[in-house]
Structure 1
Amino acid sequence: MSEAQDDDVQEFAASLTRMKERTDRSYGQLARRLNMNTSTLHRYCAGDAVPLDFAPVERFAALCGATPQERLELHRLWILAVAARQRSRTAAAEATGTAGTPPEPAGEPVQDPVSPEPAGEPALDPVSPEPPHRPWFRRRRFLVSAAVATALLATLGSLSALPDDDRRPGASDSVEAADPPRATRPGTPRPKSTKSPSPSPKTSSSPSAGASKKSSPKPGERTEEPSKGPGQQRPPAGVPLTWSADSHVWQAGCGHDYVIARSPRQVPPPPAPQDAETWAGTQNAVHGRQTLVEVSVQGRTSTAVVLEALRVRVVGRSAPGRGSSYAMDNGCGGALTPRYFDVDLDKDRPIARPADGNDSGVTIPAMRLPYRVSAEDPEVLLIDARTKGCDCSWYLELDWSSQGRTGTVRIDDHGRPFRTTGIDGLPRYSYDTSARKWVPYS
């Protein structure tokens, strides 16, 4: 496929992906509503495949709430993508000569049953002649098949001689590279915190140690309890899931407060939502009153991973800090409230409680654990943590199980705890776009 043709396909896939990201549904949830396979929908959004009919694309756009103009543009992109795929297949067929039967080499008869085999190839049966009307390419296909079968039998024989418990220590999954340094310039797109916990299992060396209570994992670590059934094979090493976290999510896409220890004249205008993390980092801002954390979780393979429980652990609690609260809006709202986990940080022992969402008066049922994910069916967890009277540092613990193994991953803010502080009693400002300055909140 040429570069221009590939661009047409990728532009269509990117449009589908943008529509999908506007919803709070996973690929699996959308696929079930569309009556299609999860892997098929994922291939469409990744640009690996293009639907031959626009009907499923139309249903997908309607499910994602696309406007009539967006649907018209999506139809135009789909036409270009289908044409690009058809041109690439035609070019590939012409290049490989698959439009008809393979060309026959000059000088070699096709229907001569007693003709000798080509030089360098042993005869299949020196005694019995080859059946009549067998083309040259079928004879060679039989030879290749026989050679492959012989090699496969030899390989299976050598594997059967190996001991069953031949496992070298350290032969586990590779660890993903650490996150690159984040940019701090305003306007730079904010990265999401992506973590891959260490694959080395943390197990006890004695039976009594396994009965002790579960300790909280350190940053970047997780605990795992392998299955110990008699005669059971050792499960594969490594955490079977990955996750990423974004703590700079605004309510309804526009409402949020940051507490900053600077005067209004020293604080720049509010950023676009996608630049919130960079903007907050340059101002040493702390989440005011509320922290919305969006956690994307998916398995490493198609094997299901069960998310068993989500817990909150507060590691620091003090009086709200000094400074002023800067509102990113002057009042906004939306018809869609996604389902979420509600966390009251003012409680001595905060609990992540599932809460229903709302879509224009229609209830969105709360997500209740346990819940299954895989590489083809990721899930997004939204955590709404609030406080009135403390400056709280906290993180999340996610329990998982898969193939007889259990473990816990720590979800935090780039290796640090999340931080939320109350704003009661603090000066509060909103930005006046006409005067281009911060003014007291009204």
Structure 2
Amino acid sequence: MSEARDDDVQEFAALLRRLKERTDRSYGQLARRLNMNTSTLHRYCAGDAVPLDFAPVERFAALCGATPEERLELHRLWILAVAARQRSRTAAAEAKGAAVTPPSDPAPEPVRDPASSEPARRPWYRSRRLLVSAAVTTALLATLGSLSALPDDRTKGSDSVEAADPPRTTEPQSPRPKSSKSPSPSPSTPSPSAGGSRKPSAKASGDTDRPSNKAGKPQPSTGVPLTWSSDSHVWQAGCGHDYVIDKPPQQVPPPPNPQDAATWAATMGAVHGKQTLVRITVQGKSSTAVVLEALRVRVVGRSAPMAGTNYAMDNGCGGALTPRYFDVDLDKDRPVARPADGNDSGVTIPAMRLPYRVSAEDPEVLLIDARTVACDCSWYLELDWSSQGRTGTVRVDDHGRPFRTTGNKGLKNYAYDTSARAWVPWEE
């Protein structure tokens, strides 16, 4: 049984290694592009660990140029590998607590008599494995079906904030034919919008990339050609971060794991103290290149630092890897995102300087390091892009809300003492 579980993990790791070997990049180079620790990526490819989230695996596959069939197979193997690791941990816990009693209803596999024509019954554990495989296949097909139904644009929850400042798109204009009659909107004769960009009719809005039947030429693409996602709860070196909370230590639970920080902070009404690290993943919607031209900072709210208590998620930590990032000083009247070098065990990681090109096969991760001492600042980012003669700007924020960072100078500082299981005062 354990060998079968190990096989699931090793098959998943073997496919990761095959994808990695087709590139000319080392583990360190791939890890930096994925904003991941080098040792973590190596453990995934060696079968020593299995990621609990498929998102980094999907980014890895895109970076290595995996085909749709390979991505499908990678997703299937990842589900089996995660299930195998969970079963292994459960079995280990049961073996440690008490002896596991074998089930009474399934009978052991009988020995087949060579003289008998009756086949031996399938052992119970093989039947269970077939059921698990069938369940995994069903879940995988359901996942693929739901992904195909997802819209390209962001949800209405974020549109409520972006309505006052929507993404801007500028397209090349073409002369309209002269006619005595006003042409009605149709897929071949788009009407200009108030902003000057051409917008297809409702009939053609979902089919903008198909060639026109009349002209025999492809219609110009419309809409934003890239997608992005943001995570503002990134901790320095994976362990260091400060939150300002207007609650006494007795009402604040222990620090969460980094992956649970967003939920923990929302529950506590916590605000980033002194520093906000934002990880932005940008990817094109197709193989057509999209050039990231510029990154700007917009401060939409500025007041005195928030009152409360500063809670440190660690009592000092560090790491050998500091990824390259964009440095932002929110205390300046006009903050600017400045490229900064990273460091990998003493080796300088050159700063990322825009313009930079992305596509569906070549995503990019941007890390923004925004700091303040003297304000409680609400801010967001604007990312300028260009592709095939079109230009535009997308607003990057915290799921429809501005990012928020407050100074924490002069506040009471607390760190969590694991031995006492309590928050204790400490001097920074």
Normalization by structure 2: what TM-score?
0.58
Structure 2 residue corresponding to 1:323, chosen from 274, 292, 308:
308
In the other structure, the counterpart of 1:375 is 360
In the other structure, the counterpart of 2:66 is 43
Write the letter of the residue equivalent to 1:274: Q
SS of 1:23 mapped into structure 2: helix
In the other structure, the counterpart of 1:176 is 152
Distance of aligned partners of 1:299 and 1:319 in 2 relative to their CA distance in 1, 3 Å threshold: same
Write the letter of the residue equivalent to 2:64: L
Distance of aligned partners of 1:242 and 1:326 in 2 relative to their CA distance in 1, 3 Å threshold: same
Distance, in Å, in 2 between the alignment partners of 1:353 and 1:250 is 20
In the TM superposition, residue 47 of structure 1 has moved relative to its aligned partner by 5.9
In the other structure, the counterpart of 1:309 is 294
Contact 1:307 1:370 survives alignment (8 Å): yes
Give yes or no for the alignment of 1:269 onto 2:254: yes
Distance, in Å, in 2 between the alignment partners of 1:436 and 1:245 is 33
Q: Deviations over 1:268-299 (max 9, x none)?
A: 00001111001101101000000000000000
Write the letter of the residue equivalent to 2:32: D
SS of 2:265 mapped into structure 1: helix
SS of 1:224 mapped into structure 2: strand
Write the letter of the residue equivalent to 2:368: I
Q: Which runs of 5+ in 1 are unaligned?
A: 31-36, 51-172, 182-194, 199-215
Structure 1 residue corresponding to 2:33, chosen from 20, 25, 42:
25
Distance of aligned partners of 1:263 and 1:339 in 2 relative to their CA distance in 1, 3 Å threshold: same
In the TM superposition, residue 24 of structure 1 has moved relative to its aligned partner by 2.5
Distance, in Å, in 1 between the alignment partners of 2:278 and 2:318 is 19
Q: Deviations over 1:239-269 (max 9, x none)?
A: 1000000000000101100000000010000
> Which is higher, the Rg of structure 1 or of structure 2?
1
Contact 1:220 1:415 survives alignment (8 Å): no
Contact 1:217 1:223 survives alignment (8 Å): no
Contact 2:379 2:404 survives alignment (8 Å): yes
Distance, in Å, in 2 between the alignment partners of 1:256 and 1:271 is 11
In the TM superposition, residue 238 of structure 1 has moved relative to its aligned partner by 1.4
Distance of aligned partners of 1:13 and 1:329 in 2 relative to their CA distance in 1, 3 Å threshold: farther
Q: Equivalences for 1:417-436 in 2 at 5 Å? A: 417-436=402-421
Give yes or no for the alignment of 1:401 onto 2:386: yes
Contact 1:43 1:49 survives alignment (8 Å): no
Distance of aligned partners of 1:178 and 1:264 in 2 relative to their CA distance in 1, 3 Å threshold: same
Equivalent residues, number: 279
RMSD: 3.7
Distance of aligned partners of 1:221 and 1:20 in 2 relative to their CA distance in 1, 3 Å threshold: farther
In the TM superposition, residue 9 of structure 1 has moved relative to its aligned partner by 4.1
Q: Equivalences for 1:4-15 in 2 at 5 Å? A: 9-10=11-12, 12-13=14-15
Distance, in Å, in 1 between the alignment partners of 2:413 and 2:221 is 53
Write the letter of the residue equivalent to 1:222: P
Q: Deviations over 1:377-427 (max 9, x none)?
A: 000000000000000000000000001000000000010000000001111
In the TM superposition, residue 356 of structure 1 has moved relative to its aligned partner by 0.5
State, as a whole percentage, how many aligned pairs show the same letter: 64
Write the letter of the residue equivalent to 1:417: P
Give yes or no for the alignment of 1:258 onto 2:266: no
Distance, in Å, in 2 between the alignment partners of 1:314 and 1:40 is 33
Distance, in Å, in 2 between the alignment partners of 1:15 and 1:376 is 18
In the TM superposition, residue 361 of structure 1 has moved relative to its aligned partner by 1.1
Distance, in Å, in 2 between the alignment partners of 1:276 and 1:42 is 32
SS of 1:265 mapped into structure 2: helix
Distance of aligned partners of 1:267 and 1:180 in 2 relative to their CA distance in 1, 3 Å threshold: farther
Distance, in Å, in 2 between the alignment partners of 1:264 and 1:274 is 22
In the other structure, the counterpart of 2:169 is 224
Q: Equivalences for 1:24-423 in 2 at 5 Å? A: 24-26=32-34, 41-43=64-66, 46=71, 48=73, 175-176=151-152, 218=163, 221-228=166-173, 235-423=220-408
Distance, in Å, in 2 between the alignment partners of 1:402 and 1:316 is 32
Distance, in Å, in 2 between the alignment partners of 1:259 and 1:9 is 45
Distance, in Å, in 2 between the alignment partners of 1:247 and 1:253 is 13
Write the letter of the residue equivalent to 1:43: A
Distance of aligned partners of 1:373 and 1:271 in 2 relative to their CA distance in 1, 3 Å threshold: same
SS of 2:31 mapped into structure 1: coil
Over 3 Å off, 4+ runs: 3-22, 37-40, 44-50, 173-181, 216-220, 229-234
Distance of aligned partners of 1:10 and 1:180 in 2 relative to their CA distance in 1, 3 Å threshold: farther
Distance, in Å, in 2 between the alignment partners of 1:15 and 1:252 is 26
Distance of aligned partners of 1:269 and 1:40 in 2 relative to their CA distance in 1, 3 Å threshold: closer
SS of 2:259 mapped into structure 1: helix
Distance, in Å, in 2 between the alignment partners of 1:17 and 1:219 is 43
Distance, in Å, in 1 between the alignment partners of 2:30 and 2:416 is 26
Distance of aligned partners of 1:24 and 1:39 in 2 relative to their CA distance in 1, 3 Å threshold: closer
Distance, in Å, in 2 between the alignment partners of 1:237 and 1:398 is 18
Distance, in Å, in 1 between the alignment partners of 2:260 and 2:393 is 31
Write the letter of the residue equivalent to 1:252: A
SS of 2:260 mapped into structure 1: helix
In the TM superposition, residue 228 of structure 1 has moved relative to its aligned partner by 2.8
Distance, in Å, in 2 between the alignment partners of 1:331 and 1:236 is 50
SS of 1:331 mapped into structure 2: coil
Distance of aligned partners of 1:282 and 1:228 in 2 relative to their CA distance in 1, 3 Å threshold: same
Q: Deviations over 1:302-326 (max 9, x none)?
A: 0000000000000000000111010
